[in-house]
A and B are shown apart, each in its own frame.
Chain A
């Protein structure tokens, strides 16, 4: 079932002679149960794609549909609710609040989203799988980059989102952890029927992906041949 659909998306920044065409007629579909990889170098339009897919900004032209509902017809409040309930963001600069311990990052989620978060036993298993169980009372400032990244992944998965949007989630991880994260995303997509979209230039994640998109100069193409290459 299609969860996220981007139809003929164009995005421009600036005006007149300084106008930049960042995304060019992008078409993208993410289905539940699949791990989608969007590969591209810096400046290719990956992050713009991610922010539009996540409803953080609107495209200049084209439509984004989430679960069959047009995002542009949603109010700001509805978009907030959509991001909180349906989307799990894993951001490049981590998505952790420096003055909350790891445990409190999740308590904050419980304060604003009271239902359908991970139950305690599944949550503990996730922390264990990510190797962060013993870091629960530490502040982000006391963790390494890789540990922060893994807490950020746990934080995004905690709300059991329909879609996970990850921006370079393995940037700070070693190969062993990359494989673990790849497996977590793969399991998440398949076992929890979630659409996972990972924007990255880390080729080590290819083996876990169901679909591989390449983005270059704002143009996106489906390139599943990369899996067998």
Chain B
């Protein structure tokens, strides 16, 4: 540690450049990870808020909420407890004169079931009749207010916003909660359909009909349109970035070590143990990576504060901590590569002929 810190202190510019490079790598990884998580979260916010463990869909729907319809006949022998709720999904375009049109996901609810009862409103009240809706805060950010009257698609019926909920998004679109009756109107389905799905807080819930199938929430989420592809893309980008950063850090440390071979040969000639030099190299790498990491985190936090709310960024501390540990581990791995050179330093090389 002594050797490594003294060298950094003496060679401020050189090590400043290396730390700067690590800062940029960390910054890029953090921003990408936060964006990936932000986007993933906007796909599933609403589902997560229900605390559901399983979802019952029509078995021929290809695990798609949009494609699933459950009829009265299919649920005639199925009993819903306080842990189950019907949901009816319809994709809508919400509009009000003079305001931005919003592409949204309409979720029809039964006001007596747990989802409607547990909605976490940031303002207003829950729906009390078929003409009332509760919407995601994005509507509020776009100028909609409590009492605003909006229409869906080409339908002339006006619905009144009576409440706002935070983080209610499904497939990156803001959610509009309304009644199941409204859902039937929007979906234009006949009276013998009751919902798109049954959501349960129990992972063992089974509907008593062969046409209905229960899926875990994880399976259901992974089948959301584009969700898996998008997550895989980001995961690969971050993984490649980690590998590239490993190579870049390793190359830099290798060059630094090569430049110090003469000094190490002198120290070895004086009997300074190789382990002292190895630990100096490792501690120097870890110091550089941790310094870069701290500045990178600070920079990411500043960026997050400066970005508009519309940019989906999410800071999940456990995941970002894991990424940070991964980066320190990467630096550690990079510092291990030149160790062979240190161990093979020939002290005779510094004795003149």
Contact = CB atoms under 8 A, between A and B. Distances in A.
A80 B273 CA distance: 6
B353 A47 contact: yes
A83 B11 contact: no
A89 B270 contact: yes
A43 interface: yes
A84 B270 contact: yes
Interface in A73-89: 77, 80-85, 87, 89
Contact of B272 (A87, A112, A167): A112
Interface string B249-262: 00000000000000
A139 interface: yes
A26 interface: no
Most A CB contacts (10 A, CB to CB) among B9, B10, B11, B268 go to: B10
Nearest to B267: A97
B276 A56 contact: no
B352 A93 contact: yes
Interface string B1-28: 0110011011100000000000000000
A142 B230 CA distance: 57
Interface stretch (A98-106, A115-123, A172-180, A189-197): A98-106
Interface residues of B, number: 24
B347 interface: yes
B351 A112 contact: no
A50 interface: yes
A95 B352 CA distance: 12
Interface residues of A, number: 34
Nearest to A76: B274
Contacts of A50: 351
A13 B313 CA distance: 65
A27 interface: no
A57 interface: yes
A107 interface: yes
Interface in B334-353: 347-348, 350-353
A56 B351 contact: yes
B6 A104 contact: yes
B72 to A, nearest CB: 81
B352 A97 contact: no
Most B CB contacts (10 A, CB to CB) among A57, A80, A167 go to: A80
Contact of A98 (B2, B9, B263, B270): B263
Contact of A139 (B10, B268, B273): B10
A91 to B, nearest CB: 6
B191 interface: no
Sort A-B residue pairs by CB-CB distance and give the 3 closest, nearest first. Answer: A84-B271, A83-B271, A99-B10
Interface of A: 42-43, 47, 50-51, 54, 56-57, 77, 80-85, 87, 89, 91-93, 95-100, 104, 107-108, 111-112, 139, 167-168
18 contacts: A47-B352, A51-B348, A56-B269, A57-B348, A80-B274, A84-B270, A85-B271, A87-B271, A91-B351, A91-B352, A92-B352, A96-B266, A99-B6, A100-B10, A107-B2, A111-B276, A112-B272, A167-B352
Interface of B: 2-3, 6-7, 9-11, 263, 266-274, 276, 347-348, 350-353
Given A81-B271, A89-B269, A112-B276, 5 more contacts: A56-B348, A83-B270, A98-B263, A108-B2, A168-B352
